[in-house]
Structure 1
Amino acid sequence: MRKLYISLGLILFVLVACSPSLPTATTPENQAFPKEQAAGELQVYYLDVGQGDSTLIRTPKGQHVLIDGGDNHKGDDVVDYLKQLGVESLDAVIATHPDADHIGGLDTVIDAIPVKSVYAPRVSHTTNTYKDFLMAVKNRNLKIKSAKAGIELPLDGVTAKFITPIGEYGKDLNAWSAVLKVTYKDTSFLFMGDAEHKSETDMLKSPEELGADVLKVGHHGSETSSSPQLLKAVDPKYAVISVGKDNKYGHPKGIVTNRLKKADVEVYRTDKRGTITAMSDGKNIIFKTAR
C-alpha cells in the first residue's frame, strides 16, 4: 500500500510539473507600467480600477496628487499601485464628489499612506462610504479644503487649478464634481470627474480656461457629459476614459466615442488598455499602457 501511495504521488508530481502554466490574472501587482521617472518629466497615471476613477499625478519635483480612489473594493488595489510607484506620501488627495465609485477607496488610501492635504467640493452625502472618507480624514488630523473654481494646489513647477465647481448645484452630486486643470510648460491635462452638462455650461462661460492636450473624459463616457461645445473648447489631442469591462451602464456611450472620433481625438480606455500613463517633458506627451 505504501508503494502505491508513493507511485501515485510521483505521478501527480510529474503531471503538475509538466502541465502548461495557466495564464496569470491581471492584477495591480503584475501590470506593467512605467515606474521610473525621467528628469523634468510629469507623469499622469490613469489607474485601472474598473468601473470607477482614480488618477495619480507625479510632478517633475516628485510631488504626488491623487484624484479619487475607485470604489470601496478597489482601495487596496490603489494602495498597491502607489506602493509599486514608490509613493511614500501624497501632497494632495482630491475627492471630486461623493459618489462611491470615486471616493469609495479613499479611506483605505488615507489610512495607509500619509497625506498632507485633502480637497473636496462643499457638498455632503449620507452614505456610509462618504462617512468612512470623512472619518479617515479626521483620523489623520486633517481638515478638508474647499475644491472650487480658482483654487490652486501648492505645487512646484506645475500649475494645478480647479475649474469647477462654479455655482451651487443642490443635490446633483455629479454637477458638483471638482474639475482640475494641470499645466506643465506647454502641455496641459483636464480632469473632469463626473461633470455633466449643467456644470459644463458654467465652464463654457470661460472657454479660454478649458483648452487641454489631454482630456480625462467626464462621467466614464456617459451621454450626459462631453457635449460638442465642451469638446470644441477643450480641443484635446488625446482622451482617456476610465471604465470597467462590460459595465451595466453601457459606458462609454457610442454618441460620445463618435464625437471624439469625429474630432480626431486619440482615445485610450482602461477597460481595453489597463492602467494608462501619460508622460510629458513640457513640450511633448507620450503614452504607455499596461496592455
Structure 2
Amino acid sequence: MIIALVLLAAAPVRGAEDTAPFAFHMLDVGQGASVLVEADGHYMLIDGGGRSSSSYVVSYLQQQGVEKLDYIVVSHYDEDHISGIVGALHVFGCNTILAPDYHADTDIYASYLEAAEASGAEIIYPRQGDTYALGGAVITVVGPASYENNLENDCSVAVRITYGITSYLVCGDAQAQEEADIMDSGVELESDVYVVNHHGSADSSGFYFLSAVRPVYALISCSADNSYGHPAAETMQRLDNEGVSLYRTDRQGTVTAYSDGTGLWFDQEPCDDFSAGDTAGERDNSGAAGQSEDGYLMPEDADGQGGTGQGASENTDAVYVCNLNTKKFHYAYCDSVNKMKESNRKYTDESRESLIAQGYEPCQNCNP
C-alpha cells in the first residue's frame, strides 16, 4: 500500500482522460447506485439506479461509446439498484450477468428477470472468490460469504476490481453482517477507491471494515435531501477519522476516476464534505430506533449520544460488547456500540450461550 500511495500521489489530478485505459464512473443516479467500469475497451455496469434515472444511465453509456457490456453486476434486487439495469438490458447486449442467489417478490424484480432472460446473457450466481477478466482488469467476488443472511442487503454481490496496482471496492448495500462475514473469510479488501456501502447508511462501513479496506478515496452515491438521512453522521465521522478524500454525488454529480495501472486521478477535486444528510427519515433527533428505506429496524439500543468513529476499538480483544442498560449484546464492530455510553458498555470474551444464560439478548442488527 505504501508504494501505491506514493504512485497515486504522483498521478495527475486531471488530464489524459481520453487516453486512460481504465475508467471508473460513479453515476449521479440520485438516491440509488450505478457504476460503469471501462478497462481496455471492455465494459461492466454495476447496478443501474432507480426508475427516474434509467434513461440517464442508458444515455451516459451511449456517450461513453458502450455498444455491448461484458458484464452486468446486480448487487441486489432493490429498485434503486436494478431499475436502470432493466433499461440497459433493453438497449445493450450483455455477455454475462452476475447476480445474487435469492428471489424477490417485487414487480421490478420480475421485470429484471424477464429482461435478463430475454437478453440471452449467461446468468451466474457468483460465489466468494470467483474471478473474472475485464480487459486487463481482474474482478474478484469478495462477498457475500453466504446467501443465507437474513437481510437481502447482506446478500449483496460485492466485487473488488484491480487494474495494475490500483484497486476499487463496490459492495452494494452490504450491512454489518455481510461486512463481518467478508472480514472473517480473510479475502483481500484493501482498496484505493471505496464506494461506501449502502449510500453511507449508519449500519454499514463499520470501524473494523474500514480498517480492513483502508481506502484512499471514498465515494458516496445518494441524493440531496433524501428522506433516509444518507449519509449518516456516524458513518461520515468514521470516514473522516480514516483520513479519506471524499467524493459524493449529491454534492458533485457524476464522479470519474481514471487509471493507467500505476496511478489514478479524478475528473474533479474531492469535496471533502463530511456533513450528514437529513436524519429525519432514518431516525429522529433523539437517536431512537427507526426504519431504513428497506423497512428493517435500526438498532434499538441507541442512547442518542452519537458515535466517535472509534467504538469498540478501545478493547480489540473483546468478542462481544454488552449494553448494561438494554441487556443486549453485540459484536464489537457493531455500529450500536458507537452509540452506547461508555458507562453502559461491558466488553467480554464470554460465549454467546453464557451471555444469553445471564439474560442478555442478541442484537437484531449485527446478529451475534
**Same fold by TM-score, threshold 0.5 exceeded?**
yes
8 Å contact 1:274–1:289 — kept in the other structure?
A: no
Amino acid at match of 1:243: C
Superposed CA offset, 1:182-231 (max 9, x none): 01111100001100100000111144500000111000000110000000
Amino acid at match of 1:259: R
- Out of 17, 26, 37, the position equivalent to 1:57 is 37
**Could you tell me which residue of structure 2 aligns to residue 38 of structure 1?**
19
What count of residue pairs does the alignment treat as equivalent? 257
- Out of 137, 141, 145, the position equivalent to 2:120 is 141
Tell me, what secondary structure is at the counterpart of 1:75? helix
| C-alpha distance in structure 1 between counterparts of 2:122 and 2:95, whole Å | 10
Superposed CA offset, 1:113-148 (max 9, x none): 111111101011010100100111111123411122
**Could you tell me which residue of structure 2 aligns to residue 154 of structure 1?**
133
Superposition pairs of residues 223-238 of structure 1, within 5 angstroms: 223-238=202-217
1:89 aligns with 2:68: yes
Superposition pairs of residues 98-247 of structure 1, within 5 angstroms: 98-207=77-186, 209-247=188-226
| C-alpha distance in structure 1 between counterparts of 2:68 and 2:103, whole Å | 26
Runs of 4+ aligned residues of structure 1 deviating over 3 Å after TM superposition are 33-37
**1:34 shift after superposition:** 8.8
| C-alpha distance in structure 1 between counterparts of 2:125 and 2:84, whole Å | 20
8 Å contact 2:142–2:187 — kept in the other structure?
A: no
**Could you tell me which residue of structure 1 aligns to residue 267 of structure 2?**
288
- Out of 52, 61, 79, the position equivalent to 1:73 is 52
| C-alpha distance in structure 2 between counterparts of 1:170 and 1:186, whole Å | 33
Amino acid at match of 1:38: T
8 Å contact 2:220–2:249 — kept in the other structure?
A: yes
For structure 1, list consecutive stretches of 5 or more residues without a partner in the other structure: 1-32
Larger radius of gyration: 1
TM-score for both structures, normalised by structure 2: 0.67
Tell me, what secondary structure is at the counterpart of 1:91? strand
| C-alpha distance in structure 1 between counterparts of 2:260 and 2:16, whole Å | 16
Superposed CA offset, 1:226-277 (max 9, x none): 0000000010100000001100001000111111111111110000000000
| C-alpha distance in structure 2 between counterparts of 1:137 and 1:95, whole Å | 11
For structure 2, list consecutive stretches of 5 or more residues without a partner in the other structure: 1-13, 272-368
Amino acid at match of 1:181: R
**Aligned-residue identity in percent:** 37
Amino acid at match of 2:227: K
8 Å contact 1:121–1:148 — kept in the other structure?
A: no
| C-alpha distance in structure 2 between counterparts of 1:86 and 1:149, whole Å | 31
1:253 aligns with 2:258: no
Higher mean C-alpha displacement, 274-283 vs 44-53: 274-283
| C-alpha distance in structure 2 between counterparts of 1:146 and 1:160, whole Å | 14
Tell me, what secondary structure is at the counterpart of 1:209? coil
Greater RCO, 1 or 2 (C-alpha within 8 Å, sep 6+): 1
Could you say if the C-alpha distance between residues 143 and 171 of structure 1 is closer, same or farther in structure 2, counting changes exceeding 3 Å?
A: farther
Superposed CA offset, 1:63-114 (max 9, x none): 0000000012211110010011111110000110011100112111100111
Amino acid at match of 1:37: D
- Out of 32, 48, 51, the position equivalent to 2:28 is 48
Tell me, what secondary structure is at the counterpart of 1:56? strand
| C-alpha distance in structure 1 between counterparts of 2:55 and 2:130, whole Å | 30
Amino acid at match of 1:166: A
8 Å contact 1:215–1:240 — kept in the other structure?
A: yes
8 Å contact 1:218–1:226 — kept in the other structure?
A: yes
